[in-house]
């Protein structure tokens, strides 16, 4: 079922969803099930599965030259989605990236997903690699998420890269995209971000999931800007509880997200990470309750394989 249909069927009752990442290469699928099982009591209608593109590593050869090696540390997104749908009978939503794929790769991936009865995808540009200053698309690949949305929407119309195909079948993906309440780190302003969101929606996107935020006012302001700009599709807030002191520096640096002073000082004064985890749970619980009270249709949690704190929050909210 499509995300938009889940929201319509809920008839105003808030839905709980979460996101996981594939395990490191060498681990088995049970590690994924172990992180999902504790959260199934809250009846998530869908679970997102991130995609991690390959990275480049360099190995020094006996000659002294460097050999570039492509490494994929977290493979398995498609297989995990199939396993989730088979085991839990809930919709699994894979993330689709521009980075690491040319257009033919993307088309073949989407065909596989269609064969697996996967109804939803999230279209993302993806981040630059560690050795890149700016994102670089693959040769003959989609440069921007808006182009990726167009390719997916074209498949929904039966338009393939090979224009000579006869009687081609159409896919029926519901397309999600990312939104940034505090703007994308490369965007000059929130208004410019909203402008490009509108372009993705024009190209075929049907719902938005936001980057994490820790101040609900930033989310509400973002939604107001979107609505004023004529964006009417569902906007799903992405939430993540702070769990360690290290995240005080890591989250603003990696995700270009501001942390409220009250949250920062509470974490700074905490005696250990157990205390930090409890602070994160309480902060995110209050965020969640306020969002539910405001009539937000779905709350989406970035669990990243850690179920304990998300479960504590969900028990207070759902």
DSSP-assigned letters across all residues of 202-216: HHT--EEEEEE-S-H
**Residue-level pLDDT at 72:** 64
**Residue-level pLDDT at 131:** 61
Of 271 and 73, the one with more pLDDT? 271
**Residue-level pLDDT at 133:** 58
- Predicted TM-score (pTM) of the model is 0.91
pLDDT in tens, 11-20: 888 999 999 9
Q: Quick one: average pLDDT of 251-278? A: 94
Encode the chain in three state secondary structure. CCHHHHHHHHCCCCEEEEEECCCCCCCCCHHHHHHHHHHHHHCCCEEEECCCCCEEEEEECCCCCEEEEEECCCCCHHHHHHHHHHHHCCEEEEEEECCCCCHHHHHHHHHHHHHCCCCEEEEECCCCCCCCCCCCCCCCCCCCHHHHHHHHHHHHCCCCCCCCCCCCCCCCCEEEEEECCCCCCCCCCHHHHHHHHHHHHHHCCCEEEEEECCCHHHHHHHHHHHHHCCCCCCEEEEECCCCCCCHHHHHHHHHCCCCCHHHHHHHHHCCCHHHHHHHHHHHHHHHHHHHHHCCCCEEEEECCCCCHHHHHHHHHHC
| Contact predicate 46/75, CB 8 Å | no
Q: How far is CA 84 from the centre of its chain?
A: 17
Taking the CB of residue 8, how many other CB atoms lie within 10 A of it?
12
The band of 125, judged by pLDDT with boundaries at 50, 70 and 90, is confident
**Residue-level pLDDT at 186:** 78
pLDDT in tens, 129-152: 666 656 676 788 888 999 999 999
**Residue-level pLDDT at 304:** 79
| Contact predicate 96/148, CB 8 Å | yes
**Residue-level pLDDT at 37:** 97
**Residue-level pLDDT at 135:** 63
**Which of helix, strand or coil describes residue 97?**
strand
**Residue-level pLDDT at 11:** 87
Q: Which of 54-58, 177-181, 200-204 has the lowest mean pLDDT?
A: 54-58
What are the structural domains, with CATH classification, of the chain?
3-317 (3.20.20.220)
Percent of the chain with pLDDT over 90: 73
Closest-CA residue to 317 (of 44, 89, 84, 5) = 44
Percent of the chain with pLDDT over 70: 90
Q: Per DSSP, what are the bridge partners of residue 139?
A: none
User: Average per-residue pLDDT in the chain?
Assistant: 90
Q: Per DSSP, what are the bridge partners of residue 25?
A: none
Closest-CA residue to 215 (of 159, 147, 290) = 290
């Amino acid at each position: 079922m499509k995300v938009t249909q889940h929201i319509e069927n809920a008839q105003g009752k808030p839905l709980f969803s979460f996101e996981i990442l594939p395990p490191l290469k060498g681990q088995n699928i049970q590690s994924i099930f172990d992180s999902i099982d504790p959260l199934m009591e809250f009846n998530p209608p869908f679970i997102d599965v991130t995609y991690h593109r390959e990275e480049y590593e360099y190995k020094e050869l006996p000659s002294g030259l460097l050999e570039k090696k492509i490494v994929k540390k977290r493979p398995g997104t498609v297989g995990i989605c199939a396993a989730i749908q088979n085991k839990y009978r809930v919709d699994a939503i894979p993330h689709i990236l521009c980075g690491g794929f040319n257009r033919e790769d993307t088309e073949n991936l989407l065909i596989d997903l269609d064969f697996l009865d996967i109804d939803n995808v999230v279209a993302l540009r993806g981040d630059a690699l560690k050795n890149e200053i700016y994102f670089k698309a693959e040769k003959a690949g989609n440069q921007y998420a808006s182009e990726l949305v167009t390719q997916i929407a074209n498949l929904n119309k039966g338009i393939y890269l090979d224009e000579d195909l006869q009687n081609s079948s159409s896919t029926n993906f519901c397309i999600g995209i990312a939104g940034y309440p505090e703007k994308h780190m490369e965007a000059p302003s929130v208004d410019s971000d909203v402008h490009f969101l509108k372009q993705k929606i024009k190209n075929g996107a049907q719902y938005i999931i936001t980057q994490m935020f820790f101040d609900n006012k930033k989310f509400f302001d973002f939604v107001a800007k979107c609505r004023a700009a004529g964006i009417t599709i569902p906007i799903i807030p992405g939430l993540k509880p702070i769990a360690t002191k290290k995240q005080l520096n890591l989250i603003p640096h990696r995700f270009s997200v501001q942390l409220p002073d009250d949250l920062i000082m509470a974490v700074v004064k905490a005696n250990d990470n157990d205390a930090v985890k409890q602070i994160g749970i309480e902060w995110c619980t209050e965020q969640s309750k306020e969002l539910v009270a405001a009539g937000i249709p779905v709350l989406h949690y970035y669990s990243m394989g850690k179920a304990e704190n998300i479960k504590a929050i969900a028990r207070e909210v759902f």
